[in-house]
Structure 1
Amino acid sequence: MKISEIDIRLCRHHSGMTGGELRDGQGSELEFLVITCKTDEGLSASSFGYAGRGARPAGEIAATSLKPFFLGRDPLYREKNWQDFRVSDRWWHLTPIYSFGPFDVACWLLSAQAAGQPLYKYLGAYRDEVPVYASSLVLPQPADYAEQALAVKAAGWAGYKLHPPGDYAFDLEAHRLVREAVGPEFTLMSDPVAAYTTEQALRMGRELERLDYHWFEEPLADENFHGLRELTRVLDIPIAGAEVLAKRPYSMAECIASRVVDIVRADVSWGGGVTAVMKSAHLADAFGVQCEIHTAIYHPLELVNLHCAAAIKNSEFFELLWPTDYFDFGLAQPLVIENGKAQLPQGPGLGAELDWDLIEDATFDVL
C-alpha cells in the first residue's frame, strides 16, 4: 500500500471567539488544515491539522516539507516514516512542532481502516471509555471561573481546569472561588501557561496544595528545567509540563529521568501525531509517570487523542476545552460523553465521519 495522493485544505472557521479568551487578547478565526491521504488501494483518511494563527503559512510548510516526504510511502511503515523524517527535518526543514502530526495521524487511520479496527483497538485497547474534564479559556473575572466550574460539575464531567490570566492576585482569588463553589470532592487542576516567576509559582503551588488541587500545570515555561525541577522537589502537588517541547519524546526523556516534572503531557497535534503520543506514554509508563493527554483543540483531533488515551493506562483523563461549542465543529456527529466519560466509537479507523459540508464551506484553498 502506497500513498498516491495528498490534498492539503486551508480552512477558516468563524468560531465566535472575541479574543478575550486568550491571554494575548487577539481574536482567532480558528484557521486549520485538513490533510487527506489517499492510497493506491483505494483507501482514504483525513486529519485536521493545527495552523496557529494562519492556515496559509502552515499549509505552505506542509506542502513544501511534508507532502513530498509522504507521497509514495507506505502508511503501514509508520516507524520508518518517523525515523526517516527525523533525519529529513534536521536537514533544513526544521518544521514547527505541529507540522508532522496530521500526516502521522492519517497514516495510523489508513492502517486501522485496512485492519478493520477502531484506532484504539488497533493500537491495543486498555479501556472503552475515558473520564473527561473541562479546560477553561481565559475569563474576565475570578467569579466567572466559579460559575463555569459549577456548570461543568452539573454536566457530570469528572473535573475542571482553570487557565487564569496570569495575574497572581486574580489567579489566587479565582482558584479559591472555584474550590468554594464546587466543594471539596470535585477534581480541580490549574494551568497558568507559564505565567509566573519561580517564586510566584512556589507560592501559588503552596496555595493550591491547601485548596487540594489535583495538579499544577506549566507554572513556568517548559524549557525552564531548573525552575521546574525545583518546584517538583519542593512542592507536594504534582507539576505537569513538557507539552510544547520540540522533538518529543526525546526531549521529554530528560524531564522524566531527572524529575523536571511529575507528569508529562502529549497530544497528536503539537507532539508529533499518534506515533509520538504512544512513544511518550510508553516512555513515561516505564518510569511509573503519568502521561496526561493534552487537548488538540479541534474535535476531530480530540477524537484521535481519545483513541490514544483509551490505549494507555497512565493517562487519567481526556481533556476538552470549554465552552465546547467553540471547538466542536468538524465531526458529523458530536463526541459521545456519558456519565462523565468519553465513549470510544467502534467503526474502523477514526470510527466517525467528518463533517465535509462544514469543511467545504471553511476551505479557502487547496494545495
Structure 2
Amino acid sequence: MSAPVITNIEIRACRGGDTLNSRDAVTAVQLPGGSRPDFTVVTMTTSDGVTGTSFGFGALDAKAAAAALSQVKPFFIGRSPFDAAKNMKEFELFDRRWNHVPIYAYAPFDNAAWDIVGKMAHQPVYKLLGAAREKVPLYVSSMFLSGPAEYVEQAMQVKAKGYKGYKLHPPGEVSLDIACYRAVREAVGDDFTLMADPVIAYTYEQALKVGRELEKLNYRWLEEPLLDVNFNGLRKLREKLDIPICGTEVLAGAHYSTAHCIAEGIVDIVRTDVSWRGGITAVMKTAHVAEAFGVQCELHTTIYHAMEQIQLHPSLAIVNCEFFETLFPFDDFEFGTKSKLNIQDGYVMAPVGEGLCIDYDWDFIDAHTVATL
C-alpha cells in the first residue's frame, strides 16, 4: 500500500466583514478593534481522501494574502503530509529561488498537514508532538485603546473572568502610555500579571524611559519596544533594563533568526506562533532551540480563534512556554468555527478529538469567501 500524498489544495480568500468589502488600509492599520479581520483558509486533500484545514493570516486584504499563499501551493502537491521536517527544509530552496513569500505564507500548509497526520493516527496533534501538560494559563491582550479609563475597565473585566494576566497595547505616546500603565496597575493590584507591548512605538530613549517605569510597576515583560530587526537597540535595552525584553515575533527565518537573537543576547524572551513563523513544525523547532539556551519561548497570538485552536497543540507540548495569549475582547476574533477554546478557571484546556480537533463553521466560511485559488 503506497503512502498517501497531497493531491489537492484549496485556498480561500475571505473577508471578515459581512459586507465583504475590502477595508481602508490607512484606517485598518490603527487596529482599534470592533471589526472582524480578513482571513484565508487552506484545505489539503490526500490521495486516500483525508482532509486537513488551517486558517491563515489575511493581512489587510485577504485577496493579496491568498495570492501569496498560492505561491506555496505547488510545492506541496505530491508530497507526504507526514514529512514535516523534509518539507520545511526543501521549501527553503524552493522559496529562495526567486519566490520570497511573506512570513505568513507557509504556516497554513504545515498546519493542515499536521491535521491530516493527527486524523490518520486517530490522535490529537499535541499528543503526537509529545504532550507536556493538559492546560495552559491564559492571558489576554488589548487592542489599541484611547486612554487610561478604557484600559482600566478592560483590565478589571479580565481579572474578574479569572484570566491569568493582561497585556496592554498602549496608544503609542510615551506620557499617555505611562499613565495607562500606572492606572491599570493601581486598579488590578500588585499581584496580577501585567505585560506591555507598544509594538515598536518608541525610540530607544523612549523605550528606556518606559522600561524603567514598568520595572517600578512590576510588569512581567516589555514586548517589541523597537522593531524586531533593531538588534543593536534591543540589545542595549536588555543590558540597561531589569525588566525582560520580549521579541522576535515578526522575524523571518523562524528558528534560525531566533537562535541568533538568543546567542547574541538581543532579547530575554523569544516569540513564535503557528501563523507568522512557519506553522507547527517551525514553532516546535524554535521552542526547542530556546529551551536548550534556558530561554522562555512565549507563543504570540495568531489573532483568529480558529488558529488559536491550532496553536493550542504546540502550547501543550512546550515546557518553556508559560502562557497562552488571545486578543480581547473575543468578539472580533471568535468566528469561523463551531468548536471553541475551552477556558476553565483561567486556563485553556486540552482539546478532545483527532488532528487539530477543530469543527469549522463552513456556512460562515462559504458566506465570507470572495475568491478561491
Task: Report TM bin, short chain.
Answer: over 0.9
Alignment-derived partner of residue 30 in structure 1: 37
Q: Is 2:94 aligned against 1:88?
A: yes
Q: Distance in 1 between matches of 2:165 and 2:36?
A: 28
Give the gaps of 5 or more residues in structure 1: none
CA contact (8 A) 1:15 1:327 kept: no
CA contact (8 A) 1:296 1:302 kept: yes
Q: 3-state SS of the aligned residue for 2:88?
A: helix
Q: Distance in 2 between matches of 1:357 and 1:140?
A: 35
- Aligned pairs for 1:245-260 (under 5 A) are 245-260=251-266
Q: Is 2:127 aligned against 1:127?
A: no
Q: Distance in 2 between matches of 1:207 and 1:62?
A: 42
Q: 3-state SS of the aligned residue for 1:214?
A: coil
Which residue identity does 1:291 align to in structure 2? C
Tell me the matched-pair count. 366
Once the two structures are superposed, residues 74-130 of structure 1 have per-residue CA deviations (whole angstroms, 9 ceiling, x without a partner) of 010111110110011000000000000000101111111111110111110000110
Q: Distance in 2 between matches of 1:102 and 1:93?
A: 17
Once the two structures are superposed, residues 320-353 of structure 1 have per-residue CA deviations (whole angstroms, 9 ceiling, x without a partner) of 0001111000110321100000011120111121
Q: Percent identity?
A: 52
Alignment-derived partner of residue 64 in structure 2: 57
Alignment-derived partner of residue 43 in structure 1: 50
Q: How far 1:365 sits from its partner (Å)?
A: 1.7
Q: How far 1:23 sits from its partner (Å)?
A: 3.0
* 1:341 maps to which of 344, 347, 354: 347
CA contact (8 A) 2:338 2:360 kept: yes
CA contact (8 A) 1:242 1:265 kept: yes
Q: Is 2:321 aligned against 1:289?
A: no
CA contact (8 A) 1:194 1:221 kept: yes
Q: How far 1:252 sits from its partner (Å)?
A: 1.2
- Inter-CA distance 230–220: structure 2 relative to 1 (3 Å threshold): same
Alignment-derived partner of residue 143 in structure 1: 149
RMSD of aligned residue pairs (Cα, Å): 1.8
CA contact (8 A) 1:188 1:213 kept: yes
CA contact (8 A) 1:20 1:139 kept: no
* 2:171 maps to which of 165, 168, 173: 165
* 1:244 maps to which of 215, 229, 250: 250
Q: 3-state SS of the aligned residue for 1:236?
A: coil
Q: Distance in 2 between matches of 1:366 and 1:224?
A: 38
Alignment-derived partner of residue 213 in structure 2: 207
Alignment-derived partner of residue 13 in structure 1: 16
Q: 3-state SS of the aligned residue for 2:75?
A: helix
Q: Is 2:225 aligned against 1:222?
A: no
Q: How far 1:28 sits from its partner (Å)?
A: 6.4
CA contact (8 A) 1:240 1:264 kept: yes
Output the TM-score relative to the length of structure 2: 0.95
Q: Distance in 1 between matches of 2:175 and 2:28?
A: 19
Q: Distance in 2 between matches of 1:211 and 1:345?
A: 36
Output the TM-score relative to the length of structure 1: 0.96
CA contact (8 A) 1:132 1:159 kept: yes
Give the gaps of 5 or more residues in structure 2: none
Q: Is 2:364 aligned against 1:358?
A: yes
CA contact (8 A) 1:20 1:27 kept: no
- Inter-CA distance 10–22: structure 2 relative to 1 (3 Å threshold): closer
Once the two structures are superposed, residues 257-307 of structure 1 have per-residue CA deviations (whole angstroms, 9 ceiling, x without a partner) of 111000000000000101110010000000000000000001111111111
Once the two structures are superposed, residues 231-269 of structure 1 have per-residue CA deviations (whole angstroms, 9 ceiling, x without a partner) of 111111100000000111111111001110000000000
Q: Distance in 2 between matches of 1:78 and 1:47?
A: 15
CA contact (8 A) 1:139 1:164 kept: yes
Alignment-derived partner of residue 275 in structure 1: 281
Q: 3-state SS of the aligned residue for 2:98?
A: helix
Which residue identity does 1:39 align to in structure 2? T
* 1:100 maps to which of 86, 106, 110: 106
